Structure 1
Amino acid sequence: MTYEWLALTAAALWAISSLISVTPARHLGSFAYSRWRMGCTAVMLTSLAWFIGGWASIESSHILPMALSGFVGIFIGDTALFACMNRMGPRQAGLLFSCHAVFSTILGYWLFHETLSGKELFGATMVFSGVVIAIFFGRKQANQHIWEAVRGKIHIAIGLGLLAAFCQAMGGIIAKPVMETAADPVAASAIRMITAFAAHLTLRATGANIAKPLQHINWQILGITAINGLLAMVFGMTLILYALQKGNVGMVALLSSTTPIMILPLLWIYTKQRPSPFAWMGAVLAVVGTSILVS
């Protein structure tokens, strides 16, 4: 499978997991939900890396950059994303998070001197334009579902979404040099997740109010959280690391930014509310742009 399809598959998994996240994230709060999610995922990835022998490929020089990538991209980035989602819902948070493609492209060009051909640039522009149109103009004002309502101050929600996008981009940039080596992506993902989970545990140990759960966890919430971690982090983020082994940071980020497009039909099924014509227009642009990239 080429890196384009790896990134697109990860985007689809993130779209599904973002909808699954809404209930447990609002039940526990963004910090507590992230902590439980990362704990479940750290166990899964560590066990899987041991089972496939991935730990043997990790050198001492890989640990620090992957740990830093996990701290920035997962501990800060994922927590900010769920805080944004709790305030704006999965679709609008998806728009802001898709900006990680722009951040990744700029950082990739600046740090790794990556370039896009004319064809790739045209396709990438269509993908990102489709994302913006589908999410921003695709909002219906009448008879909004509860997931579309903005809770609290909108500028805080926007700031959290952009912070999540920037941290996601930085996490990929930091991980890129390691992923160009023979390091196993599953083991590398495990290091990132263990670091993020350890940071969450440290924060919880301080007794900070933001780390306390809004409500006690139950078996149903724990099960949903574990499934979400399996889809988004064990499969999704590991696929992204495989994609980074084969492709440049900007292109991987652009393709993975199609997640909010994929959310549209899922939201339609769940909320029984048809997306607006602008949402479908954006989806068509993104699909055409993606076909140009993967052809």
Structure 2
Amino acid sequence: MPTRILVVDDEPDLELMVSQKFRKQVREKELEFAFAGTGVAALNKLHEDAAIDVVLTDINMPEMDGLTLLSRIAEQFPLIRSVIVSAYGDMKNIRTALNRGAFDFITKPIEFEDLEITIKKTIQDALVRKQAARDRDRLVALQRELDVARRIQQSILPRSFPASPHFELHAHMLTAKEVGGDLYDFFPLGESKLGFVIGDASGKGIPAAIFMAVSRTLLRATAMTGMVPHECLRHVNGMLHANGDAETFVTIFYGILDTATGEITYCNGAHNPPYVLRTDGRVESTGAPDGLMLGLFAQA
């Protein structure tokens, strides 16, 4: 796709000269030129033609001078690169042009070899800036998607905790990224039992969050059938392994609290071992051996 260049100059001969000097690049579809005789006309063309990458403009023109045009371009079209082409090549004008956003300054009479080199450099800079803007927009869009994914993940996890005279239950999750593979859950199992889960899916980010959601759904559905913890985890492992890949797994601790007796039955699928806080303040490890993580092996 040719690079489009807008030439802004009130000298009618310049359009013919540019068209002749760059006819090879135009014929080979490397460049396309548009022309405007005033700064006002140039702004109108820029609003009409979003494909313009580079502007070459004189300083001394009717209606709007080139330096004012530079300021307007910088404000309204920050990705477009501008080059001043003018006979007024004193240091004051050069510094003013650069301060207002000009990429370069060429003096008249024009040396077209110098102009060609300048155009190439300006095009390269303009394309880099546009690519950077596209990359930024993609990152912004990705961040929005991650924010949505984070809200969805947070909505999956329980956020209200039951009040009971038999137990206290609280949970909080802080992920390393917007979304991740950490999970917790709890659910009633009949009138006097409560199932509770904590786990961590392998990896980070969206893949881990998806695997976490699948694991949580399978475990909750399986637990509702009344299976004891070790049978429940074995069943979930089989489903995860059959439908997963060789590098994805989840560690899970699943317990069932009998609220009538205070007894906990649990199975640990390679998650961090649980601890018991005694009434006298002592903290003890249960000492239970870890099982295997879920999803990695056919038998766990």
- Is TM more than 0.5 here? no
Q: TM-score, normalised by structure 1?
A: 0.22
Q: TM-score, normalised by structure 2?
A: 0.22
Flag the structure with higher helix content: 1
Flag the structure with higher strand content: 2
Larger radius of gyration: 2
Give the number of the structure with larger relative contact order, counting CA–CA contacts within 8 Å between residues 6 or more apart.
Answer: 1
